Amino acid sequence: MCGIVGLHLREPSLEPRLGELLTAMLGQVVERGPDSAGVAVYGDPRLSPPGRTVVSLLGTSKAEVEAVLPGVQAYDADATTVVHADVPSVAAALPGARVIGSGDGFAVLKGTGNPVALAEFFRLADVTGWQGVGHTRMATESAVTPEGAHPFSVGPGQCLVHNGSFANHATIRRELRAQGVEFDSENDSEVGARFVARQLEQGADLEKALKLLCERFDGFYTLLVSTGDSFAVVRDAIACKPALVAETDAWVAMASEYRALDVLPGIENARIFEPEPEEVYVWRR
C-alpha cells in the first residue's frame, strides 16, 4: 500500500515552513504505511549547512561519530545519524555504518514505527528548505527495518519513494550486480533507485532515466524521484496505484491521497490532476 508525499517550493517565503507542511502531509498518509517512515529534505541549514557534504547513516550514533571523527558535527534523528563530512572519511572511520544518503544541501532520515512519532523524533516540523519527500511504508517485499524504509538514496542528492511492487526486481538486481552495482537490502524499491542512479551516471537526464525504467520494469508502481534540482513523478502503464499532483505558482506537491494536499496553503486555487500512465512529469528548480 504505502503512502507518498512530496513538496517542491517555488516561493522562497514558504521555505521556513517546509518541515511544518511536510509533517502535516505525512500525518495524512499514516494509515497507508504504519510500520516505518522516512523523509529527504533539501536546503535545511542545520541538517545540511551550505557548502558542506552531508552523509546520513544507520548503525551508529552522534557520540560514536564524534569520538572517531574529532571536530565533525553530527545529529541523531531516531535510527539515523546525520554527519557533516565526506563519504570516504565517514566510511573509513565507521566501517560498520551504512550510508543511506549523501550530498550537498540534502539529508535523509529513516526509522521504524509510527510515522507521526518518527516525524517528532526527526524534529521534522523545525526543518526549513526548498524541497521535501516523505514516505510511510507497509512492508510487502522485505522486513520492517530502517534499511527497508524509504526514501532510497543511492546517488548524490538523489532519492526515490515507491508505492507498489516491481515484479521483475530480482532479474534486474542480478543484471545490475553483474555491472558492479552493490545493494544494501532485498527491497524491490532499492532496485528501482539503483537503476535510476545508474542511468543518471551514464548521462541520462531524469526524464530519460524514468522512461527507461518504465520500459524495463514490470509491476504496479507510483514513483516520486527527487534530485538536487528536480522533482519527478511517474506511474506504470495501468496506473492502479493512487497519485495526485497539485500545482500553484508557489509550489508543486504530490501525494497518494487528496487529504495530504488539503493541508497546503492555497490548495483551493491549485491545478489538481492525476498523472497519466507512463508519462514522466518533471519540475525543476
Catalytic residue among 2, 159, 214, 240: 2
* 240 is a catalytic site residue: no
Handedness of CA 212, 189, 196, 273 (dihedral sign): positive
CA proximity to 86, closest of 46, 53, 61: 53
In the chain, DSSP finds a helix count (H) and a strand count (E) of: 7, 15
Q: Retrieve residue 223's grid coordinates.
A: 514513483
Radius of gyration of the chain from Cα atoms? 17
Q: What residues does 109 pair with on adjacent strands?
A: 39
> In angstroms, how far apart are the furthest CA atoms of the chain?
52
Q: What is the torsion angle, in degrees rounded to the nearest 10, for the CA atoms of residue 252, residue 257, residue 258 and residue 259?
A: -110
Catalytic residues: 2
